[in-house]
Amino acid sequence: MPTLVYLIISLINVTAYAHNCRIIRQDNQTIADCTRLKFKDVPTDLPLDIAGLDLSYNQISTIKNNVFESFSNLTTLTMDFNNLHTLYEDAFKGLKHLRWLSMNHNHLNISSKVFGLVLRPLLRLQHLDIRYNINKTLNKEKPMDYPYFGNLSYLTDLYMDLAEKPFLKLCGFQKLMQLKTIKFAKCYLNQMSNTTLLDLPRTITAIFFHECFGRITIVEADFLKPFPSLQILSIDGAAIPLGDALKLLYPLMQKNMTSITFKGIEPCIPKPVFITCEMVKYLQRICVKTLVIAECNIVGYEGKSLLTLDYPECLHNVVLSGNRFSIALGSHFGDLVIFMKKAINIRYFDLSYNAISFNNIEYSNLNVLENPSYRNEVYSKGCKIKTGTETGIENYNSELVKAQIVNESKVTIALPAKLTFLRVSHYMTSYIETEQKLIVTNASNLRYLDFSYWQINQFPQIYSDAPFNVKYMDVSGLNASILIHKTSIPVFQNVQTAILKNAMLSLTTGKNGKVFQLFPVVEKLDISYNNLWYLDEDAFETNVNLSNVNIAHNLLPAIPIAVMNLPHLSKLDISYNRLQTINKTFRDWIDEKSYGGIFYLSIEGNSLKCTCDTSDFIMWLFGTNVVFDRANKNFSCTLTNGSESNTVVVYRRFHELFSNCNSKSWLRLGIGLLVAFVIFTVPLAVIFNFRWKITFWMYRNFKRVVEDRLERKYNHDIYLSYADDMLQWVQGDFFQRIETSWHMNVCVEDRDFQLGVPKADEIANAIAGSKHVIFIMSESYKDNEWNKFVIERVTFEKCRNYLQKIIIVVKHASVNSVPHELDGILQYVTIINWADNETGWDKLRMSLFTDSF
């Protein structure tokens, strides 16, 4: 009996602890996720059959003997981001099946003798990660000892730090015949000599160096010679000149490599780098599939150097992003054409974040590409290519450069036939070509195209020898209006994912908005960050395949009606707009969508209201099947009294907060009926008693009223003129009060002017068709030269006696800021010194609706 009680108590404890640790069944194995639970010791009351245990992001400092002995089935153990500093000798005793051990970002002394003994029981270990454990304050004068790894005969992957003076001779590396990958996270080396890594096993095929920002004083060419089977080399961040890094490739000449990565290679004092033939002579003789030379401060390269390889057909992926050189300007264009012809297997090409114009940089080679004499000299000499067709190539190259001048309006680009991914994002240059015609060949396999954030004023005319079949296109940062012309249509016709962030769509949608029609088969559309405050109802009329629409980070006050016309829509992101609620029409439509399948809706970051008017939205929020961006449906909202709360709290207190909503409705109804009775009864009585006098008065004044007031038909009630610094106030408070509350039609330049029509004509026609004119005067109003033209047209229309009211609202400025151009009609002008309260609105209303003020 006591044994049974003890067993029941144990099971209860295990269940409670297991619940905290999130026990997961995965592929017939039990995984315990105990991350971020503030544990200070290893939990021992977990299910005994767990195969994986993750203790990351806790506060464990010590691992005692035999603590894991009960979990003999463990194959994966992760203890990253703890405070580990002490491991007992038998800490991992009993883990004979452990294959994966990770203890990175701790405070372990891996140079201690105990650390080597700790690893001894892990005979089946294949992956060991002890990165980010070396203390920077260790004695740098003597070499650092590493633990003994010789017992880990199955080890294939080893991730660790590299000390300033590593001593690896007694670590048993020569016994690790299965070791293939070694990653050095924190690299404090002070020299890369021929003997630094001599004691590592020859079986290594992949080696990674990360953050080698120590003072490396020696770099020798045979640093990588101990690895004859090396396939992957990655140096990400190293305080050495790029030329020294390229020198490390010497032992790899005439070999086949999977990947070579040089990223962030520059000395402690950065200097611009000009690639010469001598620097890349070893790289040119390697057959490599993936080549990355990124963020290395390259400003130019010698002819027949960077793009002239002995084995260009080996290349599959090329990344040259984050530098400062042009790959197709001037003499480099010839190298590019030959490279594209020979690199027949390239699939991926990235030249993003390259600025090809610079100012005030003291470097002798920076302006070398701008010197015509240098272009001819370097290109005629170049690097010597050891091929049988050397003379022919040089002659062809020279003629090609002469034919392809930068200022020509027609350029032919022959892409590699297998190219599928082309990224040239953030390509910054002062060179801007207008009416450029690009003839692209071999583009049939191109699927991913990214030329976002280019600094161009006109989209080039693009022609191709085969239909474009691009599926993903990113044109963010461009003015979307430049995309609208007939030659751009074939480029976009098969795009399924279109990204148009920061594309100035607020200026292109509307009457002349044809941007979305460029993508007839698009399925995913991202138009976030565009300052959109409305969308036409037929904006997506041609985009019937849309299933995912992102309109986040705009100024929309409601979900656009345009999305209701999308039959396949299943995901809508309208977060960080100005929504206060979702009306019943949209709620019913969304529910109908969710019944046919899962519908995802993102509304975080909006100005939601939790009031009587939106109470039905709160009830719907917690009753619908729609999947929201917050699983618990906890969204911030504002209560009736102006205080901040959230939808979860409001839903829990629903009856308390909204119990009096119906009584208020009945009270409003009673008051409304009473007021209606008075409104209708009193006028009827007055009219009946004075019916003959009213008839005579109407007869006497009808003709004058028709002639004076209805003589001219107006298109707008108000023409509004303001400076850019008043845009937010106008679109928010002013439009809300004038158009919504007072029901007056306002004409503004940013919203109502047509594209393609001369601006002067638009201003003149708009003022001539307006009944009143309102100036919102700020300190920056005089900075815009067009405002002077507006004043001139207002003066002209007032002289013709067509304008009725001219009102100047002085906001955040003094009355002295009123332009002197209005002096001629100042007697007809009403000036309001604006106050941000109801007084200002009262003055404006009286000015508009009374004969004198």
Question: Inter-axis angle of helices 372-381 and 390-403, to 10 degrees?
Answer: 160
Output DSSP code: residue 561. Answer: G
Q: Which residues, including other chains, have CB under 8 Å from residue 685's CB and lie 6 or more apart?
A: none
Encoded tokens for 354: 């390259």
In a 10 Å sphere around its CB, with 0-12 CB exposed, 13-18 middle and 19+ buried, how is residue 504 labelled?
middle
Encoded tokens for 332: 């480099």
Residue 383 has what pLDDT?
A: 59
How far is the first Cα of the chain from the last one, in angstroms, to the nearest whole number?
97
Reference 210, options 268, 131, 147; nearest CA is 131
Q: How far is CA 784 from the centre of its chain?
A: 33
Residue 725 has what pLDDT?
A: 81
In a 10 Å sphere around its CB, with 0-12 CB exposed, 13-18 middle and 19+ buried, how is residue 672 labelled?
exposed
| Alpha-carbon gap, residue 232 to 292, rounded angstroms | 12
* 85, 470, 613, 649, 653 from 645: Cα distances, Å: 44, 46, 16, 7, 11
Strands 448-450 and 437-441: unpaired
CA atoms within 13 A on the CB side of 160: 18
Note whether 635 and 646 are within 8 A (CB). Answer: yes
Residue 526 has what pLDDT?
A: 96
Q: Which helix (H) or strand (E) holds 472?
A: strand 472-474
Note whether 755 and 763 are within 8 A (CB). Answer: no
| Alpha-carbon gap, residue 554 to 556, rounded angstroms | 6
When computed from its CA atoms, the radius of gyration of the chain, rounded to whole angstroms, is 37
| Alpha-carbon gap, residue 716 to 767, rounded angstroms | 9
- Measured from the Cβ of residue 669, the count of other Cβ atoms closer than 10 Å reads 10
Output DSSP code: residue 822. Answer: G
**pTM assigned to the model:** 0.69
Question: Inter-axis angle of helices 661-689 and 691-709, to 10 degrees?
Answer: 100
For 146, the 3-state DSSP assignment is coil
Residue 73 has what pLDDT?
A: 93
Q: Which one-letter amino acid corresponds to residue 359? A: N
Residue 699 has what pLDDT?
A: 53
Residue that has been written with the tokens 């080396």 in this structure: 189
pLDDT per residue as tens digits for the range 558-584: 999 999 989 999 999 999 999 999 999
Q: Which residues, including other chains, have CB under 8 Å from residue 175's CB and lie 6 or more apart?
A: 149, 150, 153
In a 10 Å sphere around its CB, with 0-12 CB exposed, 13-18 middle and 19+ buried, how is residue 744 labelled?
middle
| Alpha-carbon gap, residue 173 to 207, rounded angstroms | 15
Residue 204 has what pLDDT?
A: 96
Residue that has been written with the tokens 């940062």 in this structure: 477
Q: Which residues, including other chains, have CB under 8 Å from residue 53's CB and lie 6 or more apart?
A: 31, 32, 34, 46, 71, 74, 76, 77, 78
Output DSSP code: residue 737. Answer: I
DSSP state string for 490-527: HHHTT-SEEE-TT--HHHHSSTT--SGGG-TT-SEEE-
Residue 379 has what pLDDT?
A: 40
Encoded tokens for 185: 């996270």
For 441, the 3-state DSSP assignment is strand
Ranges in the chain, pLDDT < 70: 1-19, 136-142, 328-331, 355-409, 428-436, 487, 509-513, 662-665, 692-693, 696-697, 699-712, 801, 815, 850-853
Q: Which one-letter amino acid corresponds to residue 449? A: L
Reference 843, options 791, 807, 818; nearest CA is 807
| Alpha-carbon gap, residue 547 to 788, rounded angstroms | 48
Q: Which one-letter amino acid corresponds to residue 63? A: I
Q: Which one-letter amino acid corresponds to residue 248? A: L
| Alpha-carbon gap, residue 623 to 621, rounded angstroms | 6
Encoded tokens for 578: 């100005």
Encoded tokens for 320: 């040259």
Q: What are phi and psi of 58, to 5 degrees?
A: -120, -160
pLDDT per residue as tens digits for the range 715-735: 888 988 888 888 888 888 888
Q: From the DSSP assignment, how many helices (H) and strands (E) are in the chain?
A: 20, 42
Residue 144, beta-bridge partner list: 166
Residue 370 has what pLDDT?
A: 40
